[in-house]
Amino acid sequence: MSKQQPTQFINPETPGYVGFANLPNQVHRKSVKKGFEFTLMVVGESGLGKSTLINSLFLTDLYPERIIPGAAEKIERTVQIEASTVEIEERGVKLRLTVVDTPGYGDAINCRDCFKTIISYIDEQFERYLHDESGLNRRHIVDNRVHCCFYFISPFGHGLKPLDVAFMKAIHNKVNIVPVIAKADTLTLKERERLKRRILDEIEEHNIKIYHLPDAESDEDEDFKEQTRLLKASIPFSVVGSNQLIEAKGKKVRGRLYPWGVVEVENPEHNDFLKLRTMLITHMQDLQEVTQDLHYENFRSERLKRGGRKVESEDMNKDQILLEKEAELRRMQEMIARMQAQMQAQMQGGDGDGGALGHHV
Amino acid sequence: MDPMRRSPSPCPSSRPSSPRTPPCEMFGQVGIEAVLDQLKIKAMKMGFEFNIMVVGQSGLGKSTMVNTLFRSKVWKTSLPSLGTPIPQTLQLHSLTHIIEEKGVKLKLTVTDTPGFGDQINNDKCWDPILAYINEQYEQYLQEEILITRQRHIPDTRVHCCVYFVPPTGHCLRPLDIEFLQRLCRTVNVVPVIARADSLTIEEREAFRHRIQQNMRAHCIDVYPQKCFDEDVNDKILNSKIRDRIPFAVVGADREHLVNGRCVLGRKTKWGIIEVENMAHCEFPLLRDLLIRSHLQDLKDITHNVHYENYRVMRLNESHVLPRGPGWVNLAPASPGQLTTPGSMKTCRQAQDDSDDEF
């Protein structure tokens, strides 16, 4: 059967119809049965509305018994990693969502070490996956790798803070970064535009690689292309989160009630919440792919290049290695000297009954 | 001068037999009230000086707030241009303006602190601020101890420090606590919740309540300090203020039309936030505190308490004055608290420490 000319198989009764146009449906059915796994990490200073936004995005309460620590506890705390998993089902499709929270980030007076914990967590997940992948039983590999990181930028600054820049540069090769402007209801439209442009300029200035939405394929319909274009133009998204139902204009909407008005979460004129949700849902698969094909492969090649030797601490300097090599060399030389002495003794011993030299090998 | 009046009863003996001079009943009008008018005229001729310092992370609306407070473009609120790095060390900028209202001249000096709390490592970022404040005290002291003094010593001492707390909605951050602890002993500090239009009313109250708890727990004594309430009236007035500190403020320097009136505010898609509307934010309270009712009090406390503490400490250092009464206890130091050596000596408890040192 020659397949040189690609033809459109519309009518199944057409001669030459093989039937593998059904493959996407099969994949779809299998994925629905298997369910999806997605790990989302949220990073940002405390008080930027991260938990509220996550609850709003997935319409659940991921943190039912949350106690906000007091000021005294905040002083002593270091950055921690808290992962919570929730299974969401919608129209038969199951999503196993893991949200990795990073409380304590940016709280301390000296934040120099606050991203070490986060980076080691990300590396640990990659390491575990690598280990599972190289193992014998590969049927049930659990994918806990971080697929996407929402980085919350404070709307109160004039752009990116030094901490933001340092953190994003440290992880842009390990995870997909989606910058989000939090608490957007404190900005007027003009201020919002200015801040977005400012952030984009600073990202370019510092060569930070954030997650770029893939361009729509040329064979997609116009609506989808337009949607993708709109999404791309709105990065970074400025969002407002809330799960409270407020009465506004006769209907109940999710929003925040102020004395001067109501901010509606799902109103595209008020904020970019819907855009963020659309982006996350339509590109969940792509985020996973980029994590697998780009970040994980980078990690894997780095890791395998280092060889089986596990680098314990990054600061093992060359001097230490040199010293070790020198010690080994000395030991070798000693052994050679001993063997030479032995041989000499044997030769001498052949003449007479010389004292047996204690030889130790 | 008013015409003399006849009072019915004769005045009692005016010999002072007790420490408190008994009020003397008058049988006529002397015209003492005219002194008030004379004071007013003199004050208006001389003009007033007020030095205010604004401290907080960048973007919290400090410059806008100053413009809103004094209803003039005191500070240019433009963004720093791209490419200019955030200053590595804290630099203080002072700007002086003379503004006039109904014949009263006010020489206003605003000191800004760009770069505060913006770095990755913000350890000791309060040191330049403390150094600046002490430097102003030092300048005044040097002028005061001269043999031939100027008639009116130029007053550059910081009368009030407005500290902008970011509206996280949780509680005070470690940086806020460190800063407030150190500064409330050297200068009058008024904390405010900045950009309060990101908090709903309930969140605002909860946040304020938690901040008050934090301040009590860490012995942070902000203006108006309880120990300086002179009489019952003061106490009542100041208690009301103390209940509402920190004020949740919003700043704006643009005017919009609301119900036919021109108001200062921020226009958003979902409504206009009126800065002077008490239902929206507490900016009027801050303005009243700083300008309309307590401006002179701020200056008095700076001069009589903070400056005196600094002076006593300096004179002790140079062994000019024998140690004794003159120490004013601003806030009890809780054990193990770190402060700069200067402000430590203002506490009565620290007398024992200085005993060992000298």
What would the DSSP string read from start to end of B149-189?
--SS----S--EEEEEEP--SS---HHHHHHHHHHTTTS-E
- Which residue in the block uniquely carries the two structure tokens 């300048």? B139
pLDDT at B121 over 90: no
Is there a domain that residue A354 lies in?
A: no
A256 in reach of chain B (CB within 8 A): yes
CATH number of the domain bearing residue A277? 3.40.50.300
Asked whether the beta carbons of residue B177 and residue A71 sit closer than 8 angstroms, the reply is: yes
- φ, ψ of residue B123 in degrees (nearest 5): -65, 135
Position with higher pLDDT, B256 vs A10: B256
A75 inside 8 A of chain B by CB: yes
The answer to whether the CB atoms of A47 and B170 lie below 8 A apart is yes
Interface contact A190, partner B, CB < 8 A? no
Separation between Cα atoms, residue B186 and residue B309, nearest integer Å: 8
Does residue A99 lie in a domain region? yes
Q: Where are the beta strands (DSSP E) in B2-63?
A: 48-55
Q: Which pLDDT band, with edges at 50, 70 and 90, does B329 fall under?
A: very low
Of B58, B120, B218, the CB nearest to A112: B120
Peptide bond into B128 cis (omega under 30): no
* B331 shares contact with chain A (CB less than 8 Å): no
- Judged by CB atoms closer than 8 Å, whether chains meet at A156 and B173 is answered as no
- The percent of residues above 90 in pLDDT, for chain B, comes to 20
- Res. B51 pLDDT band, cuts 50 70 90: very high
Looking at CA atoms only, how far is residue B205 from chain A in angstroms? 13
| A47–chain B Cβ distance below 8 A for any pair | yes
Task: Please check whether residue A130 lies inside any domain of the structure.
Answer: yes
Q: Which of residues 195-224 of A touch B (CB under 8 A)?
A: 198, 201-202, 205
- pLDDT at A177 (0 to 100): 93
CB contact under 8 A, A70 and B214: yes
B86/A162 touch (CB, cutoff 8 Å), yes or no: yes
B76-86 tens-digit pLDDT: 655 444 444 55
Take residue A238 and report the two structure tokens written for it.
């400025």
A112–B121 CB contact, under 8 Å: yes
Higher pLDDT, A219 or B37: B37
Chain A residue closest to B197 (CA)? A186
Indicate yes or no: pTM above 0.80.
no
Does the beta carbon of A272 lie under 8 angstroms from any beta carbon of chain B?
no
Residues of B in contact with A47 (CB under 8 A): 166-170
CB-based contact, A194 to chain B, within 8 Å: yes
Partners of residue A262 in chain B, C-beta under 8 Å? 270
The series of mean pLDDT values per 10 residues for chain A, 361 residues long, is 49 69 80 82 89 84 66 70 84 84 84 85 90 82 88 89 90 92 89 91 91 80 84 88 83 88 87 89 87 89 75 58 82 88 82 46 43
In B245-349, which residue ranges form alpha helices assigned H by DSSP? 283-287, 295-301, 307-317, 341-344
Q: Per-residue confidence at B240, pLDDT binned at 50, 70, 90?
A: confident
| Beta-carbon pairs below 8 A across chains A and B | 122
Contact of B35 with chain A, judged by CB distance below 8 Å, is answered with no
How many folded domains does chain A comprise?
1
Chain A residue numbers touching B280 (CB-CB < 8 A): 259-260
Using pLDDT thresholds of 50, 70 and 90, give the confidence band for residue B306.
Answer: very high
pLDDT of residue A233: 85
* CB-CB under 8 Å, B269 with A110: no
Q: Which two tokens stand for residue A33?
A: 């049965």
Establish if A336 belongs to a structural domain.
no
Average pLDDT, chain B: 78
- Residue A331 covered by a domain: no
In a domain, A161, yes or no: yes
- Residue A78, domain member (yes or no): yes
Average pLDDT score over residue span B161-180:
90
Q: How far apart are CA B132 and CA A338, in angstroms?
A: 74
Domains of chain B, earliest start first: 38-78+88-249+280-318 (3.40.50.300)
B178 to chain A, closest Cα gap in Å: 9
Residue A224, number of CB atoms within 10 A of its CB: 12
Which residue among A47, A156, A189 places its CB closest to the CB of B169? A47
Residues of B in contact with A159 (CB under 8 A): 79
- Residue B323 pLDDT > 60, yes or no? no
Structural contact between residues A38 and A98, judged by C-beta atoms closer than 8 angstroms: yes
CA distance B210 to chain A (A): 9
**Of the candidates B174, B195, B210, which has its C-beta nearest A75's C-beta?**
B174
Q: Is residue A173 part of a domain?
A: yes
Interface of A with B in 13-42 (CB under 8 A): none
Query: DSSP string of B195-258?
Result: SGGGS-HHHHHHHHHHHHHHHHHTT--PSSPGGG--SHHHHHHHHHHHHHPSEE------EEEE
What residue numbers bound the domain in which A222 lies? 28-239+271-310
| Ranges A14-28, B217-231, B339-353: which has the least confidence | B339-353
Contact A270 B269 (CB under 8 A): yes
Q: Which of B205, B279, B213, B290 is nearest to B244 (CA)?
A: B205
CA distance A295 to B158: 54
Residue A45 near chain B (CB below 8 Å): yes
Distance in angstroms (rounded) separating the CA atoms of residues A43 and A24? 36
Cα-based angle B256, B260, B263 (whole degrees, multiple of 5):
35
Using the Cβ of B161 and the Cβ atoms of chain A, whether some distance falls under 8 Å is answered with no
* A281-285, B93-97, B343-347: range with lowest mean pLDDT: B343-347
Integer Cα distance of B81 and B85 in angstroms: 9
Which among A162, A166, A269 has the least Cβ separation from residue B118?
A162
What pLDDT is attached to residue A97? 87
CB contact, 8 Å: B175 with chain A?
yes
Nearest to A74 by CA among B60, B203, B214, B121: B214
User: Could you give the angle at the alpha carbon of B183 between the alpha carbons of B181 and B186, nearest 5°?
Assistant: 125
| Residue in B60, B123, B210 closest to A156 by CB | B60
